[in-house]
Structure 1
Amino acid sequence: MEQSRCRLSRHRWRPKPTPDNWESPATRPFKLQHALSDQCIFCEIIRGESPASFTHQDDTVVAFMDVQPITHGHMLVAPRDHAILMADLDETAAMRTFRIARRLAAIARQTLGASGINLFVADGEVAFQDVPHFHVHVIPRYPKDGFGLTFPPTYDRPPARAQLDAIAAAIRAAGAATTA
């Protein structure tokens, strides 16, 4: 059952989430944490079992055109080894994935006439990740391309400095603990 749901995604990714069609991670039928590489459309592409229009291939990373592009030239950069979340990547794959995304962004500016680039990662279901394989979106931007981000109503009311300092301290402490 899970496999058939994943395979359907090869033909059409989920529609852009809106308040009307978004399911919470608790109710969404497809669970990222249960996705296996043999059920992953990106792994199928990497193995040559599903078609893709590649823009880059090496021993660590592949990049290909998104079948549902947000803008002209929208590409996806993914590690060859199956990793669902960014935290699942080894350091080499993480660095190579972002290095190739950066390179393809520069190429898109030059060859496609993009005025800007968005590099976007949806890491986890609540972040709208719908393909269970880590990837970076390289989204060329053009004037009036219709793509935008929506900010929460609280965006224009920044948190107090003390709250920012407390969050920063917690992140520093966790970082120190993981590098010790």
Structure 2
Amino acid sequence: MSTAYDPDNIFAKILRGEIPAHKVYEDDDTLAFMDVMPQAEGHTLVIPKTPSRGLLDADPAVLARLIAVAQRVGRAVKTAFEADGLTVFQYNEPAGGQTVFHLHVHLVPRREGVSLTRHEGGMADNAVLADHAERIRKALKEA
């Protein structure tokens, strides 16, 4: 199994504008957008623009910028969905649960007593994702 970065992964294609995404935040170093197979309403992904397969091969400076944005967007996600908490996932390599081999952080708003759905549960409705993205962008502006 190769552990090299694949520039044709779906997140690299999103970064190049080849695949659309419901963006919630973007700066020179990072992009945050809605997960198309959400485990809960508001499930958001944050990725670096620098090619990195995962946590273990990423430049520490890239990680620092990524986690700072994940924190900022995570606060907005929690606010936008009036969540009781926030689950943060970050997977590395197939045995660690990673399926897209571009470093990414999952931000999932949580409510007490509500279980997550399966990540492979199917694509969410585009209109719903657009609404969720707008809610998070609004919360970011108000922060």
Select the structure of larger CA radius of gyration. Answer: 1
Q: Distance in 2 between matches of 1:137 and 1:51?
A: 18
Q: Distance in 2 between matches of 1:103 and 1:97?
A: 10
- Residue in 1 that maps onto 2:3: 33
- Residue in 1 that maps onto 2:16: 47
Q: Distance in 2 between matches of 1:34 and 1:95?
A: 22
Deviation at residue 140 of structure 1 after TM alignment: 0.5
Q: Distance in 1 between matches of 2:2 and 2:102?
A: 9
- Residue in 2 that maps onto 1:132: 101
Gaps spanning 5+ residues in structure 1: where?
Answer: 1-30, 149-180
Distance 1:144 1:32, change over 3 A: farther
Deviation at residue 119 of structure 1 after TM alignment: 1.0
Give secondary structure in 2 for the equivalent of 1:70: coil
- Residue in 1 that maps onto 2:36: 67
Gaps spanning 5+ residues in structure 2: where?
Answer: 118-143
Give secondary structure in 2 for the equivalent of 1:96: helix
Alignment size in residue pairs: 117
Deviation at residue 86 of structure 1 after TM alignment: 0.8
Q: TM-score, normalised by structure 2?
A: 0.76
Deviation at residue 145 of structure 1 after TM alignment: 2.4
Tell me: higher relative CO, structure 1 or 2? Use CA pairs within 8 A at least 6 residues apart.
2
Q: Distance in 2 between matches of 1:109 and 1:32?
A: 36
- Residue in 1 that maps onto 2:85: 116
Identity %: 32
The answer on whether the counterparts of 1:32 and 1:125 sit within 8 Å (CA) in structure 2 is: no
Higher helix share: 1
Deviation at residue 34 of structure 1 after TM alignment: 4.9
CA RMSD, aligned part only? 1.6
Deviation at residue 36 of structure 1 after TM alignment: 1.4
Q: TM-score, normalised by structure 1?
A: 0.61
